[in-house]
């Protein structure tokens, strides 16, 4: 009898961004509380974590953080939430480092609060848990094919070999995969980060150099909700497909 895949019981939702590209929609509310399909982006992330079996989600907040705090206080559904307030923006790495006292010592899931995804035949978080190999990995990143990423207009982030090992794209290259905003990662990797703001890229680069940065290609649809135009495109595509945002 084989052991069940490891599924993190603790996650972090990164929700502290300023949402400047989403203006004017973020002039009066933070981007994680913008609704898509009648439900806030933050709730979409928390619902997916709950469906995967995550028990506690740490949510960081900075811009209009009192609104995020009030929203979480009214939320009755799982997972249980803990708020990590940031007086100044700490970026992704700094935000995780500040939240370390709440995250425990086991690998965690992190989810960006400005993305949505539709699962393929197997839910993405369960696929990630099945692929997680603590003997080889410091971080396992969910990746999306750059050409299929709705609302994304960049040049991609990574090349991935057939086994799943990742390499950064060159400065003048277009990479086939973009980071999809979801990962399993060891929280201790952030413990020796600098005080203040820093990017998770700092941690990824060290893991890549050690051969311990891995990826998994998402097999469903994926939406980056970064601008009002991207929001409209996502809702139009979801409406056209008859998608109803009902979770298990």
Q: Which CATH number goes with the domain that contains 217?
A: 3.90.550.10
Strands 10-14 and 139-145: unpaired
Asked if the peptide bond before residue 123 counts as cis, ω within 30 degrees of 0, the response is no
Is the pLDDT confidence value at 248 over 50?
Answer: no
Structural domain includes residue 187: yes
Average pLDDT on 26-35 reads: 93
d(CA 16, CA 152): 20
Q: Domain total for the chain? A: 1
In the chain the beta strands, taken as DSSP E runs, fall at 10-14, 35-36, 39-40, 56-61, 80-85, 108-112, 115-117, 139-145, 158-160, 166-168, 177-185, 213-217, 222-224
Whether the CB-CB separation of 211 and 204 falls below 8 Å is answered with: no
pLDDT digits (tens, 9 = 90+) for 205-247: 999 999 999 999 999 999 999 899 999 988 888 886 645 444 4
Structural domain includes residue 147: yes
Structural domain includes residue 3: no
Strands 56-61 and 39-40: unpaired
Statement: the pTM of the whole predicted model exceeds 0.85: yes
3-state secondary structure of 236: helix
- Is the model more confident about 153 or about 15? 15
Structural domain includes residue 248: no
* Host domain of residue 147: 10-240
pLDDT digits (tens, 9 = 90+) for 57-97: 999 999 999 999 999 999 988 899 999 999 999 999 999 99
Give residue 3's pLDDT. 63
Whether the CB-CB separation of 123 and 49 falls below 8 Å is answered with: no
The strand pairing partners of 69, in sequence order, are: none
């Amino acid at each position: 009898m084989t052991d069940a895949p490891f599924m993190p019981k603790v996650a972090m939702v990164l929700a502290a961004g300023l949402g400047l590209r989403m203006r004017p929609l973020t002039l009066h509310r933070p981007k994680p509380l913008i609704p898509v399909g009648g439900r806030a982006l933050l709730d979409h992330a928390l619902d997916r974590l709950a469906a995967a079996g995550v028990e506690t989600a740490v949510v960081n907040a900075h811009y209009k953080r009192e609104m995020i705090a009030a929203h979480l206080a009214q939320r009755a559904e799982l997972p249980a939430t803990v708020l990590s307030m940031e007086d100044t923006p700490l970026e992704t790495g700094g935000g995780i480092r500040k939240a370390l006292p709440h995250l425990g010592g086991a690998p965690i899931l992190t989810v960006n609060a400005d993305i949505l995804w539709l699962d393929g035949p197997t839910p993405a978080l369960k696929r990630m848990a099945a692929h997680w190999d603590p003997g080889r990995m410091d971080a396992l990143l969910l990746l999306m094919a750059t050409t299929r990423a709705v609302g994304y207009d960049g040049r991609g982030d990574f090349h991935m070999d057939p086994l799943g090992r990742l390499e950064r794209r060159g400065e003048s290259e277009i990479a086939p995969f973009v980071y999809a905003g979801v990962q399993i990662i060891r929280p201790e990797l952030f413990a020796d980060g600098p005080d203040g703001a820093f990017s998770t890229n700092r941690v990824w680069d060290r893991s890549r150099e050690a051969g311990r940065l891995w990826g998994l290609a998402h097999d469903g649809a994926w939406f980056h909700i970064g601008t009002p135009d991207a929001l409209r495109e996502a809702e139009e595509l979801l409406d056209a497909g008859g998608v109803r945002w009902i979770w298990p």
